[in-house]
Amino acid sequence: MSETAEHRLKRLRIRSWRRGIKEMDLILGGFADDRLASLNAAELDAHEVLMEEQDHDLYLWVSGQADAPMALRPSIKIVRDYFLAKKK
């Protein structure tokens, strides 16, 4: 049985808000609230892969303190661009 688009978005939103460290809850949760529904299928797939990463690594990559693995860079860029735009 395949998951509906609505259920997938809801599941990813919850995973984005319940990360483990508050900083990533705020970054990824806010991103999920504002942008998740506008991502295409490939971007949603990439976001799901991103959700498997450790919070400390994600924070370093999103904040630009460390380089993300090549495969994750497009997803990190989407989140980083969102985060930087919200800070302004």
Model confidence over 28-82: pLDDT tens digits? 999 999 999 999 999 999 999 999 999 999 999 999 999 999 999 999 999 999 9
Determine the Cα–Cα distance for residues 35 and 87; give it in Å rounded to an integer.
Answer: 16
pTM for this entry: 0.89
Helical pair 73-87 and 22-35, crossing angle rounded to 10 deg: 90
- Which pLDDT does position 88 carry in this prediction? 73
CATH of the domain at 14: 1.10.150.250
Consecutive H or E run containing 1 = none
Q: How many domains does the chain have?
A: 1
| Band of residue 1 on the pLDDT scale cut at 50, 70, 90 | low
> What tokens were used for 72?
């994750």
Residue ranges making up the domain that contains 29:
5-87
